[in-house]
């Protein structure tokens, strides 16, 4: 069947973080939200049917994975990424951020250093500092085309100088939209192995990879599995974030034991029943929906790129290799941090993510979530251009 991603679905009044909490978060009531990373699209039809059936059954008792959800996820990764996680590697978690926090407690001691690459999804530093550990960043560097790269000399220097124990890899990278190449992943792995650094690869955006780029599960790049935790979830791919399920794959028995012990300490045990139903159905039946969605998202990306080139050429949109989150360099406008945000929020009535929350090197950037109907994106871009026009 054909899906209509142009349909505008009113999400207000659904406890939506994106749409229902503007005032609580200091935003104007009539703000247009393109911030938090969920999509304004309905999940695949089969998922909705499965959830309807589960609701009609009417009993929402304690649940666990009888094999269906985990196996559907593993089959997906075998087919899409030639990655073959085994049933015993699978550790359930309510979310990837929860898993990142668990990994910090499992693999580091208080005050130990964890490495991240700013600008990066802000909970990466959040879960480290909240657990009383130290954040060390090896910032990404930008080339003349606005593409971000790893400074491998600095990456290794930071590991050695700070005795880093854990590296949180964002692959594909939110917010800079990079899909790391095989060579880059190989080099990351070689360095981390040399210095006995555990790698937690957050691959939640792995199904959104554009053009000729290809996602590689980190532990398939080389023999990296014995120091790697792979974090996956159906939540970004199929728009199920509110159902709180993710699959963490840990091949190494020692790392898995430590991770599971940290999980026990948190008191987490059973899965969300409806999350399990949705996960199984999405991974089994969601391929066609995803194929159509990908085309739509690529067209949104190109629409945004062309719009900015035409209407606001002074700002630069970072080439988007993966994810549905665009990263826009507003520094050439010359506005202070405050003026930039005031214009966007107060004049434009637009709710984006301020680049600074992703780390110091994100200052002057804005992140757009383009997983919305084209008409919504067009409205947002018109507001953006209007708010930033110099004569305003
Ligand atoms: C890189 C990355 N990891 C994790 C998450 C959130 O994962 P979860 O909702 O499973 O905690 C997001 C959401 O935007 C993300 O971009």
In the reported structure, the alpha carbon of residue 177 is separated from the centroid of ligand 1 by a whole-number distance in angstroms of 14
Strand order through the sheet with 228-232: 90-93, 246-250, 228-232, 198-202, 164-170, 113-116, 134-137
Convert the pLDDT of each residue in 325-352 to its tens digit: 999 999 999 999 999 999 999 999 999 9
- CATH number for the domain spanning 354: value is 3.90.1150.10
Tell whether ligand 1 has an atom less than 6 A from the beta carbon of residue 97. yes
Q: Which of 17, 37, 207 for a ligand 1 pocket mutation test, highest count of atoms within 8 Å of Cβ?
A: 37
Convert the pLDDT of each residue in 124-180 to its tens digit: 999 999 999 999 999 999 999 999 999 999 999 999 999 999 999 999 999 999 999
Strands 353-354 and 148-149: unpaired
The three-class DSSP label of residue 66 is coil
Q: Phi/psi of residue 166, each to 5°?
A: -145, 140
Residue 270 has a pLDDT of 87
Task: Give, for 299, the enclosing helix (H) or strand (E).
Answer: helix 287-311
The answer to whether residues 291 and 277 belong to one domain is no
The answer to whether residues 173 and 152 belong to one domain is yes
The answer to whether residues 244 and 166 belong to one domain is yes
Tell whether ligand 1 has an atom less than 6 A from the beta carbon of residue 247. no
In-domain check, residue 13:
no
Q: Could you identify the atom of ligand 1 that is nearest to the CA of residue 38?
A: 14
Convert the pLDDT of each residue in 59-88 to its tens digit: 999 998 887 889 999 999 999 999 999 999
In-domain check, residue 168:
yes
pTM attached to this predicted model: 0.98
The DSSP result for 234-291, as a single string, is SHHHHT-GGG--EEEEE--HHHHHHHHHHHHHHT--PBPHHHHHHHHHHHHH-HHHHH
Give the structural domain span for 27: 23-44+287-388
Tell whether ligand 1 has an atom less than 6 A from the beta carbon of residue 281. no
């Amino acid at each position: 069947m054909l899906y209509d991603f142009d349909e505008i679905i009113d999400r207000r009044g659904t406890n939506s973080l994106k749409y229902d909490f503007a005032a609580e978060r200091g935003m104007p009531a009539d703000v247009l939200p393109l911030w938090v990373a969920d999509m304004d699209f309905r999940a695949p039809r089969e998922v909705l049917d499965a959830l309807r059936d589960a609701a009609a059954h009417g009993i929402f008792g304690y649940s666990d994975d009888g094999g269906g959800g985990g196996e559907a996820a593993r089959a997906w990764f075998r087919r899409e990424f030639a990655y073959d996680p085994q049933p015993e590697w699978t550790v359930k978690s309510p979310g990837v951020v929860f898993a990142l926090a668990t990994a910090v407690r499992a693999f580091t001691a208080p005050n130990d250093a964890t490495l991240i690459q700013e600008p990066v999804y802000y909970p990466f530093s959040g879960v480290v500092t909240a657990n009383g550990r130290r954040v060390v960043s090896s910032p990404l560097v930008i080339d003349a085309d606005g593409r971000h790269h790893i400074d491998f000399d600095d990456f290794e220097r930071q590991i050695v100088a700070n005795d880093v124990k854990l590296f949180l890899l964002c692959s594909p990278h939110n917010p800079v939209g990079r899909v790391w190449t095989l060579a880059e992943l190989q080099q990351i792995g070689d360095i981390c192995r040399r210095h006995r650094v555990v790698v937690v690869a957050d691959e939640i955006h792995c199904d959104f990879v554009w053009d000729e780029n290809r996602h590689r599960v980190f532990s398939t790049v080389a023999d990296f599995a014995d120091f790697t935790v792979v974090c996956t979830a159906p939540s970004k791919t199929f728009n199920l974030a509110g159902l709180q399920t993710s699959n963490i794959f840990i091949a190494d028995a020692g790392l898995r034991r430590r991770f599971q012990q940290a999980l026990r300490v948190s008191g987490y045990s059973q899965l969300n029943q409806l999350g399990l139903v949705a996960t199984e159905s999405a991974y089994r039946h969601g391929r066609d929906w995803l194929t159509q969605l990908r085309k739509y998202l690529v067209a949104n990306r190109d629409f945004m790129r062309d719009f900015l080139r035409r209407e606001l050429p002074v700002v630069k949109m970072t080439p988007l290799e993966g994810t549905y989150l665009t990263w826009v360099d507003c520094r050439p406008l010359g506005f202070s941090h405050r003026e930039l945000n005031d214009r966007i929020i107060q004049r434009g009535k637009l709710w984006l993510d301020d680049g600074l929350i992703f780390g110091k090197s994100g200052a002057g950037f804005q992140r757009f979530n383009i997983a919305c109907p084209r008409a919504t994106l067009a409205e947002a871009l018109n507001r953006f251009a209007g708010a930033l026009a110099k004569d305003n």
